[in-house]
Amino acid sequence: MTINYRIELLINALELNNNSFSTRIGVNSTVIHNIVKGRNAPSYDVLQKILSSFDNISADWLITEKGEMISNTKRIDYSKSSTDLNTSLAEPQEKMKKKEDNLSVQVHSDENQLSGTCPNCSALKHALEQTERALKHAESEIGARKETILLLTDKINDLTKK
């Protein structure tokens, strides 16, 4: 059985058509059409996209026809080191911190404006309350992201020890 035919079987087993399958893996539908028709062999990039799009598909079966199509084991991407993951997780945390700092500056600015008499005091007070709510929301998001980062770091460390 050719790899082209295994890809056709996979598409049918997933109850998809060529177009929906190509959309799901992020390639042009013509690529999948030509593979299924046997005109082209799948490239490494296509195989990689298939396997990364469907965690339960056996790479052994897809590439060599060994084993079953559906695998009970989930693949782990070891291509990213824990340092890379920590770096990529730190970026959103830095953005949240900047957002928090900006909101804090805005709150202090609004407080200073409210301390004097002004014709728009109620509007400014309302803006201050909205800013304070946004600041509290940002702080809770930062806390949740920190927890996620710590959990992921622990899991990565556990996986790298094995």
Q: What is the rounded distance in angstroms from the CA atom of residue 18 to the CA atom of residue 9?
A: 11
> Does residue 51 contact residue 62 with C-beta atoms inside 8 Å?
yes
pLDDT at residue 31 in the model: 95
How far lies 68's CA from each of 9, 65, 111, 151, in Å? Answer: 12, 8, 66, 33
Domain extents in the chain: 3-64, 82-161
Q: What is the 3-state secondary structure (H, E, C) of the chain?
A: CCHHHHHHHHHHHCCCCHHHHHHHHCCCHHHHHHHHCCCCCCCHHHHHHHHHHCCCECHHHHHHCCCCCECCCCCCCCCCCHHHHHHHHHHHHHHHHHHHHHHHHHHHHHHHHHHCCCCCHHHHHHHHHHHHHHHHHHHHHHHHHHHHHHHHHHHHHHHHHC
Tens digits of residue pLDDT in 41-55: 999 999 999 999 988
Instruction: Reply yes or no on whether the pLDDT at 57 is more than 80.
Output: yes
pLDDT-derived band of residue 132, with 50, 70 and 90 as boundaries? confident
Q: Does domain 3-64 have CATH number 3.40.50.620?
A: no
pLDDT at residue 45 in the model: 93
Tens digits of residue pLDDT in 1-44: 899 999 999 999 899 999 999 999 999 999 999 999 999 999 99
pLDDT at residue 9 in the model: 92
Tens digits of residue pLDDT in 65-119: 898 888 765 554 545 555 555 555 566 667 777 777 777 667 666 556 555 555 6
Which of 29-33, 68-72, 149-153, 157-161 has the highest mean predicted lDDT (pLDDT)? 29-33
